[in-house]
Structure 1
Amino acid sequence: MTPAPPVRSTWHRPALAVLLLGTAVLYLWGLGASGWANAFYSAAAQAGSQSWKALFFGSSDAANAITVDKTPAALWVLGLSARLFGVNAWSVLVPQALMGVGSVWLLAAAVRRTSGPAAGLVAGLVLALTPVAALMFRFNNPDALLVLLLVAGAYCVVRALEKASPRWLALAGVAVGFGFLAKMLQAFLVLPAFALAYVVAAPVPLGKRLLHLLGALAATLVSAGWYLLVVALWPAASRPYIGGSQTNSLWELIFGYNGFGRITGDEVGSVGGGAGRGWGSTGLTRLFGSEMAGGIAWLLPAALLALGAGLWFTRRATCTDRSRAALLLWGGWLVVTALVFSYMGGIIHPYYTVALAPAVGALVGTAAVQLWRLRAQPAASGLLSGGVALTALTAYLVLSGSSWQPWLAPTVLVGGLMAAVALFFAAHLTRWAASLVAVFSLVVLLAGTSAYTLATAATTHSGAIPSAGPSSGFGGRFGGPGGPGGFGGGRGGGPGSLLSTTLPGTSLTALLQKDASHYRWTAATVLSNAAAGYQLAGGAPVMAVGGFNGTDPYPTLEQFQQYVASGQIHYFLGDGLAMQGNSGSDAAQQIAEWVASHFQSSTVDGVTVYDLTATV
């Protein structure tokens, strides 16, 4: 494969504008229907709009009891948006959609510089039409910012490779460092690929390449580490408790619950309760399993085929060949991240796979255009034909057996096989006939993933674990997520739970709002999602006892008793749920039992309410 010069053809700008406009419409249309989406993060954005300290630390409430169980970069964006435009579903979700548009633009720009404008547009189109991307860029989890920053980092590496620029490489490190502040160690999964591409292909002596990489590593550590240093030096008594940790330590959160614990399965305080419990079987087929397939599987085999084909065609290229460098960059990103997701034994959710989508798009876009240019060679036409057939078969397996649009699976399969045959003989067709085959093949290539992406965008999603796809039942031979596209949400009586949030009824909301300004927290309740619903409805801080899982040792029973004695908490809500795993603290359960035995209860809108200002 030969690199295409990074020039703009006359059609490139209008085509890119259409792509970005279409992506914006796809990600913004009907966005408000998902309401608060993940209320856990929406409540933190609300807190950040009311308190600068809460914004900086990523607190769940404006009174700064406890943080979310992530580093807060994504919440900085959402909290600032809420400050500017008010606390509502649009101010929380629109920034996510714009991050999606930005990711598509940066990916198209990065691929264009190594493989030409057509490849860049195909890469961006594949990313935009990946179902899990449509899910996450219409949702308020930190993954949207993570993907944007990692694609920005890859773009900077591509620029650095052109002239061995240490400045561009350092900027890549800065992007990854801030990606760390969005979702911690997951951001570092791309670093081996970035380093490999530069050390192999940068057009300077090896010693300078290594020095440039050391500078980029320093930039990464500084851009990620400044926040860790501030938190470490900040007096613990004047900041919120670090949610997700058992020792009020950000370092423990990074390397434990949200770090190596995700690999080994040994996350103290986890909902799974220990290694190997509740997160599905591991192995190379995991990404094609029932939880993952609908979001990412569609073009994953084609991307791996593209990587192998690209490395074969560039096997005799010089070390500085930019096409091969791009393959090492995107292929390394895909392989390392896919292997980690496939074998990690701890908490993993299907939407994590959005981190694979840019690499899939880049590899497919690059290979599709380059192999088309080489279609006169039997090997290239065969690989191009085989890639389309493989994609059609993958889509058929994902879709088959589904109660959703049952006609689509056989249609995509038949169309894909027809396109594969036509592609094999495309070199012998007239120019116009070959162009029609190319367009038809691209349509078939994207038919399955596009249909599922549109269904994802048309479905409202809420709760802690959203799933890509339509709201109707789904399950193909690879398997697909059955049931609705998200967990929980809604309005009415009853408390929230570990993975869902229920907004309280009008009577309970009015009760929480009455005299709320007289208390530091208008209420306390076990589990962050339950607290989020009450806080979003009432607009006043609600303490999340025990954090997200109910297993964080904050507050202790003694601390809670002191808060109550000093009149800082008005109500305790709910019957008190036991901690959700077999590890971590049981302080939340102790508090719930103490409240039940010392305070009078009533039921309001189906929720048990204890007035902490009136003892039994």
Structure 2
Amino acid sequence: MRRERLAPAVLLAGTAVLYLWNLTASGYGNEFYAAATQAAAQSWKALLFGSLDPGGTITVDKPPAFLWVSGLFAKAFGFSSWTVLAPQALEGVAAVGLLYATVKRTSGPAAALFAGTAFALTPVAALMFRFNLPDALLVLLMVAAAYCTVRALENASPLWLVLAGSAIGFAFLTKMLQAFLVLPALALAYLVAAPASFPRRLLHLLGAGLAVVVSAGWFIALVELWPADSRPYIGGSTNDSLWELAIGYNGLGRIFGGAGGGPGGGGTGGNIGFGGETGIGRLFGASMGPEISWLLPAALIGLGAGLWFLRHAPRTDRTRAALVVWGGWLLVSGAVFSFMSGITHPYYTVALAPAIAAVTGIAGTELWRGRAHLPVRAALTAMVASTGVWGFILLDRTPAWTPWLRWVLLAVSAAAVFALVFGASRTWLAGALVAAALLGTSGYAAATAATTHSGSIPLSGPRSQQGGGPGPREGGSSTEVVQLLKATGTRWAAATVGAQSAAALQLASGRPVIAIGGWNGSDPAPSLDEFKVLVAEGQVRYFVPGGGGGGRGGDNEIASWVAAHFEVTTVGSQTLYDLGTAG
């Protein structure tokens, strides 16, 4: 009993060290979202809607739930690099703890400890739980939904199932439709395995579905009912609608590309920052493979073997139900990530990490218990061999980084396979299996945690392999410009085209900056007429040219109007317009 209590404590402590150690070395991480956290710390309305600036011009291109956490953190402890990044790290520790608790309820402490450790040491998890993107809270809420579903399966509890639906609803308010990818697995597991009559199971699922709608829909209703002229424009939407953002840019546009796909790259090119070629091999490719696939072959083998060997188990068998939960999560999400042709980044795969870790832990433990039978031992051997071989291939893709590690991994895996085939002692063999499974991924995760990350497309792995796309443009944030903005007393110190430039200026000066056009300068906010009113009322002091974007007219119109009507001045190496003086 004491060992069972000590093991999760050590797991959580180790995870906290991995995710929190030297966290602020990455500065503000993603400055786009850091600026929104800064705004949230200064304005309750900016916090509520996820505005990019305290004045509430335009929101980020995601729903604001993850900014509620970091914004409240910054309000409580002051805005800093640590308050921007620490919430994600703490969410990671909580997610690991919840995964441990979930797997333990169906498969025991050994499987739970392996699953929690494998999850914590997945490279993309070590990346995303140290970086300020929505995915950290998304994963925590999805794991919470799985935990509640497993609790509901124990005695057909409608309350626990409603809590699972509520968690998914709030996950929708974190990253919209991606949260729904786990719903088929959770619903199928309950429909198949809950110890209740079929009509009751259906009724419980309907209640959980209503919980999803209510927990996600209240904020959509709030945004739609709130007067549009007294709240920020919904960034990323075409008509100032959160619902349209969910269906378009952050929904079908992500899956099918084309209109509504927004800025960035599709999935058919080889750009490492955009996921690589679409298809069944994408999760193993150059972009996504090093992030997530270290245990993926083992998980797929274990899932197939586990479901086959349990095919004659009672309907309510808890182990098979757990494999349906985590395996369904893995298959549905993995298929979507593999074939979606809109904007796709490698770090999205963090949503697969809990499922891969859980399936590997559950299936591996069950196969270990039945290893006396030749077919079971063969499946377990295949899991170990595939992990060693695939880990060697992944490490060989970065040959300049710790070249000895891949050979050690291969040797340990070979020893474990040999021991399984010829029946070595239990203690030695168990240790070899765990080492073979975790050696490659743990080394890569440690390298990830030791590397600073910034920009909009972070990648895991050692520093020499970083290529994570462009970060926010500096927007002319020289020392002279920053000092000039700090000295302003207007509602907004400046305006510039594109949120990337605006974020850098706002973070450097601590003063609100209007991000004309939102993320890439293409959103129709503010309009030229709205901007003219703000200038006439003396609410904006400077316009800083040179920002990003070139989209639907409003940004070009504003820049052209400013250039035609105001004096240009040079501060340091940066030109800007003083909106308080006519040209």
| TM-score where L is the length of structure 2 | 0.96
Contact 1:82 1:91 in 2 (8 A): yes
Question: In structure 2, how many angstroms separate the alpha carbons of the residues matched to 1:196 and 1:576?
Answer: 48
Of 124, 141, 144, which residue of structure 2 is paired with 1:149? 141
User: Please, which of 588, 596, 606 is the counterpart of residue 555 of structure 2?
Assistant: 588
Provide structure 2 residue ranges, at least 5 long, that are not aligned to the other structure: none
The SS at the match of 1:203 is coil
Aligned match for 2:292, one of 283, 290, 296: 296
Output the CA distance in 2 between the equivalents of 1:318 and 1:421. 35
Distance in structure 2 (CA, Å) of the matches to 1:118 and 1:331:
19
| Aligned position for 2:170 | 178
Q: How far apart are 1:550 and its partner, in Å?
A: 1.0
How big is each residue's C-alpha offset from its partner over 1:432-488, in whole Å with a ceiling of 9 and x where there is no partner?
x32112112211211110000000000000111111111113xxxxxxxxx45x455
Do the aligned residues in 2 keep the contact of 1:54 with 1:60 (CA within 8 Å)? yes
Which residue among 61, 74, 94 is the counterpart of 1:69? 61
Residue 247 of structure 1: aligned partner: 239
Separation in structure 2 between the aligned mates of residue 528 and residue 399 of structure 1, nearest angstrom: 37
Q: Which residue of 1 aligns with 2:412?
A: 415
Structure 1 residue matching 2:483: 3-state secondary structure = helix
C-alpha distance in 1 between matches for 2:143 and 2:102 = 8
Shift of the 578–177 alpha-carbon distance from structure 1 to 2, 3 Å rule, reads closer
Distance 1:290 1:603 in 2: 45
Give unpaired runs (5+ residues) of structure 1: 1-8, 474-482, 490-495
Once the two structures are TM-superposed, the CA of residue 410 in structure 1 deviates from its matched residue by: 2.4
Cα distance, 1:192 vs structure 2 = 0.2
Quick check: which one's helix share is greater? 2
Partners of 1:97 and 1:265 lie apart in 2 by 32
1:572 partner SS: strand
* Alpha-carbon distance in structure 1 between the residues aligned to 2:418 and 2:318: 31
Amino acid at match of 2:480: S
Paired residues of 1:531 and 1:543 also in contact (CA < 8 A): yes
Distance 1:15 1:593 in 2: 63
3-state SS of 1:60 partner: coil
With over 3 angstroms needed to count, the CA separation of the structure-2 counterparts of 1:576 and 1:157, relative to structure 1, is closer
Q: 1:394 aligns with which of 386, 390, 399?
A: 390
- Alignment RMSD: 1.6
Where in structure 2 are the equivalents of 1:530-609 lying within 5 Å? 530-579=501-550, 585-609=552-576
Q: Distance in 1 between matches of 2:265 and 2:90?
A: 37
Q: Structure 1 residues 356, 122: closer, same or farther in 2, change over 3 A?
A: same
**Shift of the alpha carbon at 1:117?**
0.7
What is the deviation of 1:263?
0.8
- Identity among equivalent positions (%) equals 57
Aligned match of 1:309: 305
> Structure 2 CA distance, aligned partners of 1:84 and 1:586?
40
**Could you state the TM-score of these two structures normalised by the residue count of structure 1?**
0.91
Choose from 101, 106, 109 the match for 1:109: 101
Find the residue that maps to 1:551 and give its secondary structure: coil
CA contact (8 A) 1:423 1:438 kept: no
1:612 maps to what in 2? 579
Whether the 8 Å contact between 2:499 and 2:519 is mirrored in structure 1 is yes
Q: Please state whether the residue corresponding to 1:318 is helix, strand or coil.
A: coil
Give the drift of 1:527. 1.1
Report the alpha carbon displacement of residue 577 of structure 1 after superposing the two structures with TM: 4.0
Q: State the distance in 1 between where 2:31 and 2:203 align.
A: 45
Give structure 1 regions of 4+ aligned residues with deviation exceeding 6 angstroms.
none
- 1:275 and 1:415 mapped to 2: Cα distance? 36
Contact 2:516–2:555 (Cα < 8 Å) also in 1: yes
Counterpart in the other structure of 2:498: 527
Distance in 1, matches of 2:495 and 2:164, equals 43
Q: Does 1:287 align with 2:283?
A: yes
Matched with 1:346 is: 342
Q: What is the aligned partner in structure 2 of residue 169 from structure 1?
A: 161
Matched pairs, number: 578
State the SS of the aligned residue for 1:571: strand
Partner of 2:258: 266
1:477-488 equivalent positions in 2, closer than 5 A: 483-484=466-467, 486-487=468-469
Instruction: Note if 1:221 corresponds to 2:213.
Output: yes
- Tell me, yes or no, if the aligned pair for 1:246 and 1:585 is still in contact at 8 Å: no
Match among 78, 86, 107 for residue 78 of structure 2: 86
In structure 2, C-alpha distance between the alignment counterparts of 1:274 and 1:103, rounded to whole Å: 30
User: Deviation at 1:250?
Assistant: 0.9
The CA deviation at 1:275 is 9.0
Cα distance in 1, alignment partners of residues 492 and 397 from structure 2: 50
Match of 1:440 among 425, 432, 435: 432
Aligned partner letter, 1:421: F
Report the counterpart of residue 460 of structure 1 in structure 2. 452
